[in-house]
């Protein structure tokens, strides 16, 4: 497993098409941070790829970050692991915002379940690519 430190988070490369992000405690994500995150995904993963968002820390997003978060067309699926009702509610609100491309996202309370779902979603994409 590769580890990449960003200015505000850590990204773990779990396999060549799945990464896990853990944002540092107390961070307010802004547009520049989201762009740094997206660039790290494009640099270290093979598209289409999926992201496991581990919300073990508490953090927020400014408005510009909320608008562009997860908008990379190369993102296949997003699994979010939430550990409390506040993280659950804020993630549901963030996911409900109107976007050009709706997120293919699921929420989980157990990290292993989230990872299993992402692996399954990546297999679906691989099978689709093979059948084309």
Q: Would you kindly state where each structural domain of the chain is located, as residue ranges? A: 2-131
Which residue stretches of the chain have pLDDT < 50?
Answer: none
pLDDT of amino acid 45: 97
Residue 102: its pLDDT value, please? Answer: 82
pLDDT score for 32: 97
> What's the pLDDT score for residue 130?
76
Question: What is the CB-side half-sphere exposure of residue 40 using CA atoms within 13 A?
Answer: 24
What CATH class does 2-131 carry?
alpha beta
- Which pLDDT score, from 0 to 100, does residue 132 have? 66
pLDDT in tens, 92-105: 988 888 877 788 99
Residue 35: name the closest of 3, 64, 77 by CA: 64
The distance from CA 127 to its chain's CA centroid, rounded to whole angstroms, is 22
């Amino acid at each position: 497993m590769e580890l990449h430190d960003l200015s505000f988070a850590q990204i773990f490369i779990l396999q060549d098409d799945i990464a896990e992000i853990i944002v540092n405690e107390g961070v307010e994500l802004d547009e520049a941070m989201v762009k740094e995150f997206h660039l790290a995904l494009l640099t270290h993963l093979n598209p289409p790829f999926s992201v496991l968002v581990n919300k073990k820390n508490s953090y927020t997003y400014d408005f510009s970050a909320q608008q562009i978060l997860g908008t990379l067309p190369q993102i296949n699926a997003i699994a979010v692991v939430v550990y409390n009702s506040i993280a659950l509610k804020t993630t549901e609100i963030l996911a409900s915002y109107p976007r050009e491309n709706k997120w293919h996202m699921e929420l989980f309370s157990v990290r292993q379940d989230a990872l299993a779902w992402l692996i399954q979603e990546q297999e679906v994409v691989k099978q689709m690519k093979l059948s084309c």
